A and B are shown apart, each in its own frame.
Chain A
Amino acid sequence: MGQVPTAPPPTLTGTGVSPGIGYGPARVLVLDVPEPEAGARHDGDARAERERAEWALEQVAADLEARGARVGGEAEQVLHAQAMMARDPELATRTGELIDRGVAAPRAVFAAFGTYRGLLAAAGGYLGERVADLDDVRDRVIALLTGRPLPGAAEFAAAGSGMGVTTPFVLVARDLAPADTALLSPDAVAAFVTEQGGPTSHTAILARSLGVPAVVGCTGATAIPPGVPLLVDGAGGSVRLSPPAHEVARARRVARAGRAVLPAVSSTQVSGSHLFRRGMTADGHAVPLLANIGGPRDVESALAYGAEGVGLFRTEFLFLGRAAAPSVAEQAEAYRAVFEAFPGDRVVVRTLDAGADKPLAFLPPSGVEPNPALGERGLRLLRRHRDVMNVQLAALAAAATKTSAKAQVMAPMVATAEEAEWFALACRTAGLASPGIMIEVPAAALRAADLIGAVDFLSIGTNDLTQYALAADRQVGSVAGLQDPWHPAVLDLVAATASAASGAGKGCGVCGEAAADPVLACVFVGMGVTSLSMAAPALPAVRAALIRHALAQCAAAASAARSARSAVDARAAAEAALSRT
């Protein structure tokens, strides 16, 4: 908390996780407002100090309410509840009492909030999650009283609505939570830069799916003064402060040239027919190339990049920031909007994947989880909250009947054959004919032959599979080095899964971020993976890589990679095998 910002060097570096060049003024999310000094006294005029505190509380309440009205929907309810906290009469009384005893307004506000903070945190569950809301209100009030810039939700609101944003900005933060970023509009954000996170963090995934350049793990980023123009290279990982105009122009030129190359490659390889959009190897082995989407807003980008369907439709956007699950009708409408964009194509919908790093207020786990990645998440949580799953399945069944898309459903975080059977039965009971499961748990990968009997297809989630295989938390930057899907252990698990699926005559896709790596995509196909799904902007490069290599060459690359002893060697071996002609 509260270090004095020093001028950052002209270029910061992190990990580029979403390619492209972004340029715009920095908008820095200051999530930490320093704790007002314990012993701070006011100058003796208690009445004036009380008025100052009351003014700040009311300002914050009015601001939260105004932004709520602008955003609407469930977000409005959350902001409205926060406004009520700022206007709380008991809070005002406690603050006033402290000020009467000589305590300075910022410290009095801090202490008054602290009482309730402790009570809510002790209650845990839903109330425990409100602590973050309460802290946000507290920090806003203290920021106002101490003349600091307000914490960042204004940026989110502006970015979500597009209102008040004339120049796209670079959003700089310590980290971005899924609930925050769910409202962002790609038109308002030129790039993301975060201090924490790795290649599979939520920021990275969100940025790739929006097609917004992003750099994560960028130390010192939040010390960048607000408004400073930033040039962000989402491939190379550099963040240039106040670059001269000719540098910006050159970077943009290079980015444009890079974009122009890939479609040119694939269109000359498969001359001019509609086959341009179909993924296949050089010898004509078809590998459908699908898009990962986070909601109807990603459909346009998926179509523009030639997706042959959707391999992973994340449904969390419908549930985030809400006090209760959305109705059948509301869900069905959102699903239908996506189905209708892909007539005749596959659209694989993943049921709600809550828990761990994506907690939801109305789906509390049964107890405290010291290690949430290994706790009640995905299907485990849905088994405790069957009503939520049944409503979602009913909505999917309703949406699927009125479309020509091949709608399929899959469950996240399946570990055992019994879980696979339970989910398949629930789907079939709801009228969904083609259930599938995700393979993210090493146990499920190793025993995929036991799980596949109950379902129609498997889909490998490489991010979680890597996290669990290497015991390296996706959210912890310091173990990001282990988060490498090229690790031969991960490749073995993918191969075991693909081989079990092919033995049963069923499909096995990969829908993790690893499928977006053109070389790894060839390796997966060589192992027998039947479809690849990724953030839409990655599709052209993967399509171009596949069409240059025959299936046998991909198989040789897979075999070479699995013979290596490290991730680095595996990649080098695969690249060597693919470059042989």
Chain B
Amino acid sequence: MAERKVTVTSEVGLHARPAATFVQTAAKAPFDVMIAKVDGPPVNAKSILAVLSLDVEQGDFIVVSAEGEGADELLDQLVEIVSAP
């Protein structure tokens, strides 16, 4: 199981365009991808409604995790999306 912990620096958090890009990227994976706020339950990272409902704002600390071939590359891409200004 691969995992990344990262602080969200995107100005609008995981709302609006970054949320859409994040979900679309996760959705390409053939395996499950989860996202959680620290201390929060993980939710399906391929679900725009679940990701929006997390209400991730700039400065929040999140955990993304996945298991499968290519999981590390995918998680790196997701980290990049939430780290963009």
Using CB atoms and an 8 Å cutoff, list the residues of chain A in contact with chain B.
Answer: 77, 80-81, 84-85, 88-91, 116, 119-120, 123, 126-127, 130, 134, 323-324, 361-362
The 8 Å CB contact of A130, one of B24, B43, B52, is B52
Interface residues of B, dominant DSSP: helix
Q: What CA separation (Å) do A130 and B46 show in the bound complex? A: 18
Q: What CA separation (Å) do A23 and B24 show in the bound complex? A: 45
Nearest chain A CB to B6 CB, angstrom units: 21
Q: What CA separation (Å) do A275 and B49 show in the bound complex? A: 61
The 8 Å CB contact of A88, one of B16, B47, B55, is B47
Nearest chain B CB to A283 CB, angstrom units: 57
Q: What CA separation (Å) do A77 and B16 show in the bound complex? A: 9
* Chain B 43-71: CB-based contact to A (< 8 A → 1; otherwise 0): 11011111011010000000000000000
A84-B23, A120-B52 known; A90 vs B47 contact (CB < 8 Å): yes
Q: Is the CB of A324 within 8 A of B53?
A: no
Measured between beta carbons, the chain B residues less than 8 angstroms from A119 are 53
The verdict on B17 contacting chain A, using a C-beta distance below 8 Å, is yes
Q: Is the CB of B52 within 8 A of A127?
A: yes
* Given A84-B23, A91-B47, 12 new contacts (CB under 8 A): A80-B20, A81-B48, A85-B48, A88-B48, A89-B46, A90-B44, A116-B52, A120-B52, A120-B53, A323-B16, A361-B16, A362-B12
> 18 A-B Cβ contacts within 8 A?
A81-B16, A84-B24, A85-B49, A88-B47, A88-B49, A89-B27, A89-B46, A90-B43, A90-B44, A90-B47, A116-B50, A119-B53, A123-B53, A126-B15, A126-B16, A130-B52, A134-B49, A323-B16
Measured between beta carbons, the chain A residues less than 8 angstroms from B27 are 89
Q: Which of B15, B44, B48, B50 has the most CB of A within 10 A?
A: B48
Measured between beta carbons, the chain B residues less than 8 angstroms from A81 are 16, 20, 48
Nearest chain A CB to B44 CB, angstrom units: 5
Measured between beta carbons, the chain A residues less than 8 angstroms from B48 are 81, 84-85, 88
Nearest chain A CB to B38 CB, angstrom units: 18
A116-B53, A123-B53 known; A89 vs B20 contact (CB < 8 Å): no
Residue of A nearest to B50 (CB): A90
Nearest chain A CB to B26 CB, angstrom units: 10
Nearest chain A CB to B9 CB, angstrom units: 16
Nearest chain B CB to A53 CB, angstrom units: 16
Q: What CA separation (Å) do A123 and B12 show in the bound complex? A: 14
Q: Which residues from 8 to 26 on chain B have a C-beta closer than 8 Å to any C-beta of chain A?
A: 12, 15-17, 20, 23-24
Nearest chain B CB to A506 CB, angstrom units: 40
Q: What CA separation (Å) do A397 and B80 show in the bound complex? A: 36
Q: Is the CB of B12 within 8 A of A127?
A: no
Q: Is the CB of B49 within 8 A of A91?
A: yes
Size bracket, chain B contacts: 10 to 19
Measured between beta carbons, the chain B residues less than 8 angstroms from A91 are 47, 49
Q: What CA separation (Å) do A240 and B44 show in the bound complex? A: 53
Q: What CA separation (Å) do A361 and B47 show in the bound complex? A: 21
Q: Is the CB of A89 within 8 A of B44?
A: yes
Nearest chain A CB to B81 CB, angstrom units: 15
Q: What CA separation (Å) do A77 and B48 show in the bound complex? A: 14
The 8 Å CB contact of B17, one of A88, A123, A130, A323, is A323
The 7 closest A-B pairs by CB, nearest first: A90-B47, A323-B16, A119-B53, A116-B49, A123-B55, A84-B48, A88-B49
Q: Is the CB of A77 within 8 A of B53?
A: no
Measured between beta carbons, the chain B residues less than 8 angstroms from A324 are 12, 16-17
Nearest chain B CB to A276 CB, angstrom units: 50
Residue of A nearest to B48 (CB): A84
Q: What CA separation (Å) do A91 and B44 show in the bound complex? A: 11
Nearest chain B CB to A117 CB, angstrom units: 9
Q: What CA separation (Å) do A120 and B55 show in the bound complex? A: 8
Measured between beta carbons, the chain A residues less than 8 angstroms from B15 are 126-127
Residue of B nearest to A94 (CB): B49
Residue of B nearest to A323 (CB): B16
Residue of B nearest to A78 (CB): B16
The 8 Å CB contact of B12, one of A120, A130, A323, is A323
Nearest chain B CB to A491 CB, angstrom units: 45
Q: What CA separation (Å) do A84 and B44 show in the bound complex? A: 14
Measured between beta carbons, the chain A residues less than 8 angstroms from B52 are 116, 120, 127, 130
Q: What CA separation (Å) do A81 and B17 show in the bound complex? A: 8
Residue of A nearest to B43 (CB): A90
Measured between beta carbons, the chain A residues less than 8 angstroms from B43 are 90
Measured between beta carbons, the chain A residues less than 8 angstroms from B47 are 88-91
Residue of A nearest to B15 (CB): A126
Q: Is the CB of A127 within 8 A of B50?
A: no
Measured between beta carbons, the chain B residues less than 8 angstroms from A89 are 27, 44, 46-47
The 8 Å CB contact of B55, one of A85, A127, A362, is A127
Measured between beta carbons, the chain B residues less than 8 angstroms from A90 are 43-44, 47, 49-50
Nearest chain B CB to A58 CB, angstrom units: 15
Nearest chain A CB to B40 CB, angstrom units: 13
